[in-house]
A and B are shown apart, each in its own frame.
Chain A
Amino acid sequence: MTSSSLTPRANASSTAGWKRYFHWLTHMPWTWRIMLGYLIVMLLVPTLAMFTKAVTVGPAEFWRLATSPIALSAYDVTFTTSLIAALICGLFGTLIAWVLVRYDFPLKRLIDASIDLPFALPTAVAGLTLATVYSETGWIGSLFAPFGIKLAFNRIGVGIAMTFISLPFVVRTVQPVLMQAEKETEEAAWCLGASAWETFWRVQLPPLMPAILTGVALGFSRAVGEFGSTVIISSNTPFKDLIAPVLIFQQLEQYDYAGATVIGVVLLIISLFMLFVINFIQVWGKKYE
């Protein structure tokens, strides 16, 4: 879009840079106005409101609330379980991407399309059906119940829900890289006498690593924030399987705004940190392309 009238404004007191900036502000295209307005109202102001609330709590009280035993246990459950779920997705997601790109088998297109199911299925439905299937009387849970293994309403259940929602991130980041992978290097390795395993481990896997790590980081950060599916399959017992987002929710229900805000800020900072990590991995990965 154009804001093409470049006639400088007569404003002697300000520098040329400021003048141009001011001119741009007042002559901003309306697309920019809508975008910035929306971002400010929907995103910036709410984020500021939360940080302001956190500041009014005061540093000592902030630290006390952020490191209370129940909060520490909630972080532990959230981050450990998310990490395990993301790593499981890293392993199986890479395998699934590999199988979908390299092999042909019946119903492949359908299976490929179904990978996005966790994106499309509302999380409440995911939680409901996972809780049913993995409960002691459910289709899968009943197979494990005789061995005394409970798969739902504990940390394992939370992990299952997190694995479900994180899986597409890994598959969908690895798949395109695998499709572009050059067959020639593999063929060269083969011809030089490398075994299939060596070829995979030394030649095929290294270029995939940035994509796998990006997928794992994306899945991890999604799992950390997940609420809908995890709240249903968890028993939400403090110090056992209570995750941080559920803790925020419970504190809000008790009108404990300060407590909720503090945990919320902690989660937000970790989300921002994860964004940074993901960007870093992608920049690092580009170097190796």
Chain B
Amino acid sequence: MSRADSSPPSLPPAPGKLASGKKQSWVPPVLIGISLLFLGLFLYIPALNVFVQAFRKGVGPFLENLTEPDFLHAVKLTLLIAAIAVPLNTIFGLCTAWALARKRFPGRTLLLSIMDLPFAISPVVAGLMIVLLYGRQGWFGEWLQDHNVRIIFAFPGMVLATMFVSMPFVAREVIPVLEEEGVDQEEAAHTLGANHWQTFWRVTIPNIRWGLLYGIILTNARSMGEFGAVSVVSGNITGKTQTLPLFVEEAYKQYDTEAAYSAAVLLALLAVVTLVLKEILERKTGGVRKRGH
């Protein structure tokens, strides 16, 4: 990290240079101070506030909030949605990475950009698209109604919305790793008589495992934390189609701040765990920094 520091070059400095070098010494502390002040105002104080508010009245009331049936239902629903969305997006991400990482062909860049679209599209617009497709007036609306299938304001719509917004993570993390690994080992495995599946499980997966895991963790964090897209398609029916993030907002709107913060703490812990795992995985992969999602 600290490949370089602020000090002037290590050449024997001329007297004049030494003076200006010394004059500069107040700069680093000031810049560090401004940075920390900014981060404190925007990141650390708000983050600390989540925990302080949740435990303001002690652990007892906090735990009591965690046993409310509506809250428990929201937790269950959040976990269930992630349990479906994350594996499906992982399969998609792996296939996409496999298809796009090794070959150069016209349209590859376009495909990569299309795959990235869900990050550029507002979550509300994503939700809107799903409503226009599966809602009562949507393309498949009539057919779905005739067959008594509910997607909007119900579980399937929420899964679709979650899958939409967390789609690109795995592919984005795996593609660079696959590009770097090259095909030598896989070709060697083929030459030695391994079939595609054997090569995939025994050679490719071990090579990409950290990148893959990182992608899955990011997918999971987004899936459990998604608010906008899920909010549009769910109808936010308490105890029915309410996920944990929706529960937080609803409780806050109902002036039940305590319940809101009790749920918020769980989601904040998810964020902390995600960040810790991310840091560990980055060290394992040699700390290649890419821009975040």
A60 within 8 A of B: no
B residues contacting A by CB (< 8 A) are 1-6, 8-9, 11, 17, 20, 24, 27-28, 31-32, 34-36, 38-39, 41-47, 49-50, 53, 91-92, 94-96, 98-100, 113-118, 120-133, 135, 137-139, 160, 163-164, 167, 196, 221, 224-228, 231-232, 244-246, 248-249, 252, 257, 260-261, 264, 267-268, 270-272, 274-276, 278-279, 289-293
A53 within 8 A of B: yes
A225 and B124 within 8 A (CB):
yes
A122 and B226 within 8 A (CB):
yes
A252 and B246 within 8 A (CB):
no
A227 and B231 within 8 A (CB):
yes
B128 and A122 within 8 A (CB):
no
19 contacts between A and B (CB under 8 A): A46-B132, A47-B129, A92-B34, A92-B35, A103-B28, A113-B279, A115-B39, A120-B270, A122-B245, A124-B246, A125-B225, A173-B291, A190-B8, A227-B228, A227-B231, A245-B125, A252-B128, A252-B232, A271-B125
Chain A residues near B46 (CB, 8 Å)? Answer: 126, 129-130, 133, 164
- The secondary structure that dominates the B interface is helix
Which residue of the partner chain, among B4, B5, B50, B279, contacts A129 with CB atoms under 8 Å?
A: B50
A102 and B4 within 8 A (CB):
yes
Chain B residues near A80 (CB, 8 Å)? Answer: none
Decide yes or no: A227 and B5 within 8 Å by CB, A99-B31, A195-B20 being known contacts.
Answer: no
A39 within 8 A of B: yes
B292 and A133 within 8 A (CB):
no
A228 and B227 within 8 A (CB):
yes
Residue of A nearest to B113 (CB): A275
B39 and A114 within 8 A (CB):
yes
Chain A residues near B221 (CB, 8 Å)? Answer: 119-120
Min distance, Cβ A218 to any Cβ of chain B, angstroms: 7
Decide yes or no: A268 and B291 within 8 Å by CB, A102-B5, A129-B50 being known contacts.
Answer: no
A residues contacting B by CB (< 8 A) are 1, 29-32, 34-35, 38-39, 42-43, 45-47, 49-50, 52-53, 92, 95-96, 98-105, 108-109, 111-133, 138-140, 160, 163-164, 167-169, 172-173, 175-176, 179, 183, 187, 190-191, 195-196, 215, 218, 221, 224-228, 231-232, 245-246, 248-249, 252, 257, 260-261, 264, 267-268, 271-272, 274-275, 279
Chain A residues near B31 (CB, 8 Å)? Answer: 95, 98-99, 103
B117 and A43 within 8 A (CB):
yes
Rounded to whole angstroms, the CA-CA distance of A98 and B35 in the bound complex is: 10
A125 and B289 within 8 A (CB):
no
Which residue of the partner chain, among A53, A164, A228, contacts B42 with CB atoms under 8 Å?
A: A164
Chain A residues near B137 (CB, 8 Å)? Answer: 257
B98 and A128 within 8 A (CB):
no
Chain A residues near B39 (CB, 8 Å)? Answer: 96, 111, 114-115
B47 and A129 within 8 A (CB):
yes
B245 and A125 within 8 A (CB):
yes
B278 and A116 within 8 A (CB):
yes
Chain A residues near B268 (CB, 8 Å)? Answer: 121, 125
Chain B residues near A45 (CB, 8 Å)? Answer: 133, 139
Which residue of the partner chain, among B24, B94, B129, contacts A196 with CB atoms under 8 Å?
A: B24
Most chain A beta-carbon neighbours within 10 Å: one of B120, B123, B248: B120
Chain A residues near B42 (CB, 8 Å)? Answer: 160, 163-164, 167
Rounded to whole angstroms, the CA-CA distance of A248 and B128 in the bound complex is: 8
Residue of B nearest to A47 (CB): B129
| Pairs A-B, 7 closest by C-beta atoms | A122-B225, A225-B122, A228-B227, A46-B129, A227-B228, A120-B271, A124-B245
Rounded to whole angstroms, the CA-CA distance of A128 and B257 in the bound complex is: 9
Chain B residues near A35 (CB, 8 Å)? Answer: 92, 95-96, 99-100
A102 and B279 within 8 A (CB):
no
Min distance, Cβ A233 to any Cβ of chain B, angstroms: 11
Excluding A38-B92, A120-B278, 13 further A-B contacts by CB distance (< 8 Å) are A35-B92, A35-B100, A96-B39, A109-B1, A114-B39, A116-B278, A122-B248, A129-B49, A132-B49, A179-B289, A226-B122, A227-B227, A248-B125
Most chain A beta-carbon neighbours within 10 Å: one of B43, B46, B132, B133: B46
A50 and B271 within 8 A (CB):
no
Decide yes or no: A261 and B132 within 8 Å by CB, A95-B31, A99-B32 being known contacts.
Answer: yes
Chain B residues near A252 (CB, 8 Å)? Answer: 127-128, 131, 232
Most chain A beta-carbon neighbours within 10 Å: one of B9, B28, B292: B292
A249 and B232 within 8 A (CB):
yes
Rounded to whole angstroms, the CA-CA distance of A169 and B293 in the bound complex is: 8
Chain A residues near B11 (CB, 8 Å)? Answer: 187, 191
Most chain B beta-carbon neighbours within 10 Å: one of A100, A102, A121, A215: A121
B267 and A116 within 8 A (CB):
no
Residue of A nearest to B224 (CB): A122
Residue of B nearest to A122 (CB): B225
